Amino acid sequence: MNGTTTLERRSFGETMRADVWWTQPLLVFIGLSIFIVYSTWAAFQGQNYFFGNYISPFYSPEILGDSPHSWFGPKPDWWPAWLIFSPALLVLWAPGGFRLTCYYYRGAYYKAFWADPPACTVGEPRKSYWGERSFPLIMQNVHRYFLYLAVLFLLVLAYDVWKALWFPDGFGIGIGTIVLAINVVLLGGYTFGCHSLRHLAGGLLDQFSKAPACYRAYTCVSCFNRRHMLWAWLSLFWVGFADLYVRLCAMGVWHDFRIV
């Protein structure tokens, strides 16, 4: 570019903004930190993750494990003794990767955790910048593959809700059933508003009129996509709460109330 700007590059945190610009990145930092700490702790517990017909969403699908929800039985004998085992660790990477590479979360955590930038028009701590053009952030382009896995997980979690309707004495609805059902609804709202899904459903086309079904799908995904941030936070909070609910019921701290 010809010439230079005479206003000097602002130092970290420097801005002419008069508003409390740091509230949003701070709230994102606190919210995501709490979730990361709690989910990591819960994933390493390896116990109290099921209560009767309920299973924590952090542990579902339970590929290997000791609960009756396990797909392929208990931990195999050949599992190395030095390697920590928890059913959650076998599956949590998939939804974790989906959120990590999500377009909304990317923008949010680049600001809140990496100050890149801390907020709009606020000075940054580093002079160098690579963006998502080179390693490691170029890996964010894998997002659509995590989307495929997230859709499969959603089906499994919906099946968990079905199982949560069947108690030893037959059909019923408990508070836990509702908690798990809300979890699926919120995760569905988040997953079906995904930017990659919006593209794959029809956004990649230039002529919607030649593919009316794709256009309808695109419109539907766009509808969820408009509130993607809201779905992202609600589903994040609720999936953590669903784990906490099942955990506290399993520990005998909370009593699951049967409605039907």
Partner 1 sequence: MKAVFKIWRGDAKGGEFRDYTTEVAEGMVVLDAIHDIQRTQAPDLACRWNCKAGKCGSCSAEVNGMPKLMCMTRLSELPLEKPVTVEPMKAFPVLKDLVTDVSWNFRVKKKIKPFKPRHPDAPDGTWRMQQEDIDRVQEFRKCIECFLCQDVCHVLRDHQMHERFIGPRFLIHVAALEMHPLDTEDRTEELRNKQGIGYCNITKCCTNVCPESIQITDNGIIPLKERVVDDFYDPFGWVWKGFKKLLNR
Binding region for partner 1 (CB under 8 A): 1-7, 9-10, 15-19, 103-104, 106-107, 110-111, 116-117, 120-121, 123-124, 127, 129, 131-134, 137-138, 141-145, 195-196, 198-199, 203-204, 206-209, 215, 225-226, 228
221 backbone dihedrals φ, ψ, rounded to 5° = -65, -40
First to last CA, the chain: 70
Our CB check for partner 1 shows the closer of 16 and 260 to be 16
Our CB check for partner 1 shows the closer of 5 and 260 to be 5
Q: Which of 102, 92, 193 is nearest to 140 (CA)?
A: 102
- Cα separation of 36 and 130, whole Å? 26
CB of 5 to partner 1, least distance (A): 6
Our CB check for partner 1 shows the closer of 19 and 77 to be 19
- Cα separation of 77 and 47, whole Å? 19
Our CB check for partner 1 shows the closer of 5 and 80 to be 5
- Burial class (CB within 10 angstroms; exposed 0-12, middle 13-18, buried 19+) of 204: exposed
> What are the b/e assignments for 127-144, b being 16+ CB within 10 Å?
eeeeeeeeeeeeeeeebe
CB of 98 to partner 1, least distance (A): 15
CB of 132 to partner 1, least distance (A): 5
Place of tokens 């910048």: 129
CB of 18 to partner 1, least distance (A): 4
97 backbone dihedrals φ, ψ, rounded to 5° = -65, -35
Our CB check for partner 1 shows the closer of 75 and 106 to be 106
CB of 189 to partner 1, least distance (A): 16
Our CB check for partner 1 shows the closer of 74 and 125 to be 125
Q: 60 with 158: CB under 8 angstroms?
A: no
CA–CA distances in Å: residue 53 to residues 90, 118, 161, 190, 256:
21, 45, 9, 25, 11
CB of 201 to partner 1, least distance (A): 11
CB of 122 to partner 1, least distance (A): 8
Our CB check for partner 1 shows the closer of 54 and 104 to be 104
CB atoms inside a 10 Å sphere around CB 108: 21
